[in-house]
Chain A
Amino acid sequence: MELLAYIDPGAGSLFIQAVIATVLVAPFFLRTQIRRGLDRIRGVRPAPATAADAAAADDAVPPARP
Chain B
Amino acid sequence: MTAPAPHALSPDRDPGSFRDPSGFVFRRSGVVYRQVNRSFAEEWEAASSDGILRRWQGRGRLVGHEVADLTLAADPDHALAVLRPDPIAFISYPYEWTFGQLKDAALLTLDLQEDAEGSGFTLRDASAYNVQFERGRPILIDTLSLERRTGDEPWAAYRQFCQHFIAPLALMARRDIRCGLMLRDYVDGIPLDLASTLLPGRTRLSTGLASHVHLHARAQRRYAGAGREAPRRATMGATRRAALLDSLRRTVGGLLWSPGGTEWADYDRETSYSNEGTRAKEAMVEAMLRDAGGAAVWDLGANVGRFSAIAAGLGRRVVAWDVDPAASERHYQRLKSGGATNVLPLVQDLVNPSPGLGWAGSERASFADRSDANVVMALALVHHLAISNNVPLDWIASLFARLAPAAVVEFVPKGDPMVTLLLGSRPDVFPDYTQDGFERAFSTRFRIAARTPIPDSARVLYRLERA
Inter-chain contact A17/B239, CB cutoff 8 Å: no
Inter-chain contact A55/B158, CB cutoff 8 Å: no
| Interface membership of A38, Cβ < 8 A | no
Closest to A7 in B: B224
Inter-chain contact B242/A12, CB cutoff 8 Å: no
Inter-chain contact A51/B239, CB cutoff 8 Å: no
Inter-chain contact B117/A9, CB cutoff 8 Å: no
| Interface membership of B237, Cβ < 8 A | yes
| Complex interface: chain B residues within 8 A of A20 (CB) | 211-212, 215-216, 244, 247
| Complex interface: chain B residues within 8 A of A8 (CB) | 230
| Interface membership of B154, Cβ < 8 A | yes
| Complex interface: chain B residues within 8 A of A51 (CB) | 114-119, 242
Inter-chain contact A60/B239, CB cutoff 8 Å: yes
**B221-246: which have CB < 8 Å to A?**
221-226, 230-246
Closest to A48 in B: B118
Query: How big is the B interface, by class?
Result: 35 or more
| Interface membership of B159, Cβ < 8 A | yes
Inter-chain contact A12/B247, CB cutoff 8 Å: no
**A4-63: which have CB < 8 Å to B?**
4, 6-25, 28-29, 50-56, 58-60, 62-63
**Known contacts A12-B220, A22-B240, A59-B239, A28 near B234 by CB under 8 Å:** no
C-alpha gap A63/B218 in the complex (Å)? 25
Inter-chain contact B240/A14, CB cutoff 8 Å: no
| Complex interface: chain B residues within 8 A of A19 (CB) | 215, 219
Please count how many residues in chain A sit with their CB below 8 Å of the partner chain's CB atoms: 38
Contact check: which of A14, A23, A55 meets B241 at CB < 8 Å? Answer: A55
**Known contacts A2-B224, A4-B224, A11 near B239 by CB under 8 Å:** no
| Complex interface: chain B residues within 8 A of A63 (CB) | 152, 235-237, 239-240
| Interface membership of B155, Cβ < 8 A | yes
C-alpha gap A25/B152 in the complex (Å)? 15
C-alpha gap A44/B223 in the complex (Å)? 47
C-alpha gap A58/B117 in the complex (Å)? 12
| Complex interface: chain B residues within 8 A of A14 (CB) | 154, 156, 158, 231, 233-234
Inter-chain contact A21/B216, CB cutoff 8 Å: no
**Known contacts A9-B220, A20-B247, A28 near B239 by CB under 8 Å:** yes
Inter-chain contact A59/B238, CB cutoff 8 Å: yes
Inter-chain contact B118/A55, CB cutoff 8 Å: yes
**Known contacts A12-B220, A54-B118, A55-B118, A21 near B241 by CB under 8 Å:** yes
| Complex interface: chain A residues within 8 A of B215 (CB) | 16, 19-20
Most A-side CB within 10 Å, residue of B114, B152, B219, B246:
B246
C-alpha gap A56/B238 in the complex (Å)? 7
Inter-chain contact A52/B246, CB cutoff 8 Å: yes
Whole-angstrom distance between the Cβ of B113 and the nearest chain A Cβ: 9
Whole-angstrom distance between the Cβ of B416 and the nearest chain A Cβ: 54
Contact check: which of B152, B158, B235 meets A13 at CB < 8 Å? Answer: B158
Contact check: which of B114, B219, B225, B235 meets A16 at CB < 8 Å? Answer: B219
Whole-angstrom distance between the Cβ of A66 and the nearest chain B Cβ: 5
Which residues of B line the A interface, CB within 8 A?
114-119, 152, 154-156, 158-159, 162, 211-212, 215-216, 218-226, 230-247
Could you jot down 20 A-B contacts, CB within 8 Å?
A2-B226, A3-B226, A10-B156, A11-B223, A11-B224, A11-B231, A12-B223, A15-B223, A15-B234, A16-B218, A18-B234, A20-B212, A21-B247, A28-B246, A51-B115, A54-B118, A56-B239, A63-B152, A66-B234, A66-B235
Which residues of A line the B interface, CB within 8 A?
2-4, 6-25, 28-29, 50-56, 58-60, 62-63, 66
14 additional A-B pairs beyond A21-B244, A59-B238, beta carbons within 8 Å, are: A4-B224, A12-B220, A13-B158, A15-B234, A17-B154, A17-B155, A17-B216, A18-B235, A20-B216, A28-B246, A29-B243, A59-B239, A66-B232, A66-B234
